Structure 1
Amino acid sequence: MSGAGARRVVQEACDCAIRMPGQPAPALPGLAAFMASAPPPAKAALPPAPAVPRRRRIWDLDGTFHCSIIGTCLSSDELRRLLRKLDLAPADATDHDLHGRGVGLAGRDDHRGKLLNKALDDRHAAPIHRFSAARDVEALRALWREALEAGDIPGAYWAVLTHPALDRVLMREAFGAVHMLSHLVGAANRADIRRLVAQDRELAEQRETIDRQRARLQELVEERTAAQEALAAQRLAQVAAPAPSPPPVAELQRRLEAAEQRAAALEERRAEAEAAALRAEDRAAAAEASAEAALARVAEAEASLALLAPETAALAAEAAALPGTVLYVGGRAHQVPALREGAARLGVALLHHDGGLEANGSQLPGLIGRAELVVFPVDCVSHEAALAVKRLCRAAGRPFRPLRSSGVTSFLAALAQPDGAVAPG
């Protein structure tokens, strides 16, 4: 390139040169060479961002948990709506078919699996927000046990399994609690479903009655309107005619009054029927809510039954080292069969003493000697019986554990906890 060309390039590249009227911009001979030889500016290295623990996605969890999550944390209707969006819900598919498809999606890290994970997050946003306050596993365990005691299982189960602070011990505890609770809810569901069906039938009959009465009322209104129009036309004709005819007018007036009386009576009957229908709708809504809760418990039971498959037996056995014989002191007599059945499902033999209400207190030492663990509910045992249990357990070297309530949930949770027993001291 010639010297003039180089000067022209430099002048065109430098916009900050001062230009005088009628004079060319001053040339900078060394600028072009400097710019050509200068290395490109180095980019400043940014420090790596600190790793922030995130919640687990459903595909991050072991496949053993997918069945219980789908069955417990999503209702059948919610799962069906989601699978319809994905064209995976045929019209003839049963709830069990849809449950299997949902479990299959749970292990996929793709668009469909992400939609399933988002549906669970949206459905249980409130429990997830509440559990996010836990900064360590102990705080997380406290929130989980509080939700378990209150019966708020689905959202808490999803929130605790996906929490970053979850460890394997708490994972087994949550899994075992959901597994055991599912066995206790099946028998109560049939009566709820029958009651809901009866309420739906009654509501349908009330609605049919209201529809018939509304149709009849509409006919009477039309008859009255026609009579009024005819009466108005007759009166106009009478005004125009030189000699009015009273008999037709009187007849129309009589028909109008009769129609108005029938309409008033039917309106009163309609109001009574609508009030009865509203009461029936309230009963049906209450029954439907009860049935939805029952169906949710059925879904939890079905999911937990699926967890008894051979490939999950090892994890269920690993959930806790259970005692062979447990003595239950106190409690309510009508709850003893359920306690005994729940213990039997875990392979535990249950001994019971009512704390001295009817049974002889002298039997306590012998029963404590036979038991590997002694439990008693603090809300349903006398102070004297509780003190006697502690004293006899310390003397016999038997572990004991006070329960927060006399419910089956507290009892099973105590058995499922690895550290459930309190050593005598």
Structure 2
Amino acid sequence: MWFIENETAQPGGRMCDQCASPLPANTGSRRRRLWDLPHQCHCPVVGVCLPLAALRQLVNKALGGKAIADDYEVHVGAVAECTQRNRLSELLQKDLESRYARTVQAFKFAKDTKAVADLWADAVRQGDVSGAFWATLTHPRCDEVLQEVVLRDMHMLQHQAGAAVRIDLTKFNELIKENGVLGRELGRVQERCTRVITEKAAEIEQLHAQLVQQRAIVIGKDSRIAFHLQDMEQLKASLPDFENTSRLRKKIDQLTARQAELETQNAQLRQQLSEAQRSPSLRESAAQPAPAAEQHHDTPKESPITFHLKAKTILCVGGRNGNVANYRDVIEKAGGNFAHHDGGLEDKQGALDSILAAADLVICQTGCISHNAYWRVKDFCKRTGKQCVFVENPSTSSLTRTLQQITVDDTHGELAENTFAQ
């Protein structure tokens, strides 16, 4: 083979006399080519600066076929071909220049041998010597002394790299064993995870089926509720005055409760009266007025009505439910029409606006009315200019005094208008 023959041309790997001669002084700027380097530089350059895969590819390209030699024979043949300019050495030169173009460009700024040596020393400290090794050997300011220093440094670096490789191989073998143990443990963990995932998937599927069933039950219940509501609405629509009937029933219940309360109070009073008639001392105590705490409910007093409402509609908003009948009696005796709304406690607030619109005078019992109804009454009367009187005391006597004062004011106002007209 071609590299075996060339290698035997120099037995024992000895340098020829031409390679052993001192380097000529180079004062120009032209960088040396691969075949310009001494033969002792070719082996470290090819071995360090070119990966084996790239070297084999270049050798195959130079031969025009595939080399059947092993890595050592390819390396020895390539080193032998670097002593002169040929197709393989040119391919190696081109690949090295392209591969380390950035480092070569950085070394161009070195203008003397010391600057080149400093750049090489920095590369050795950083541990990246492949590109710096090629750039230093081919630099035009690399003399024989620097070349010898670089070759020695590279020789020692290769020894250290070999020792590091042996250490790395030992660690690598240990890592392989540890990786095997971890791989087996990982397999067991994956098996457990697969089993757990399968169980959880089955549980999720079961829960999903239960969820679908519960959703169907809820939908059925919602459908029945909707049907019942629809039937209730139809039933309400078929019954005349359903809302009025419901409201009247609530009022009847309230009046029934009030009647039972009054009957109980009447029975107590009858019992006290009978006891007072039997005992003179109790008769005297019965003649005394009852405390204010016992007069919680307003009892109408028979007093003459000295004012006339002239068929006006008087709306009472709020007040005690037990006094509504007394309110009605006072207003109707004074010649007015009575209307009432409980202020949102039982009656619907939606009907309040229509009642307010039909009233001539509004009496608002502020102590027995909801906040919403209070503000609605106040806003409506303010917008429409309707006369409205706010009363804090919900008693019948207070209502009587209020109406009397209103009629007196209205009478004075009419007199003043008539006098001004005359």
TM-score under structure 2 length normalisation: 0.35
- Compare CA radii of gyration and give the structure with the larger one: 2
* Structure with the larger RCO, 1 or 2 (CA within 8 Å, 6+ apart): 1
TM-score under structure 1 length normalisation: 0.35
Give the number of the structure whose residues are more often helix, by fraction. 2
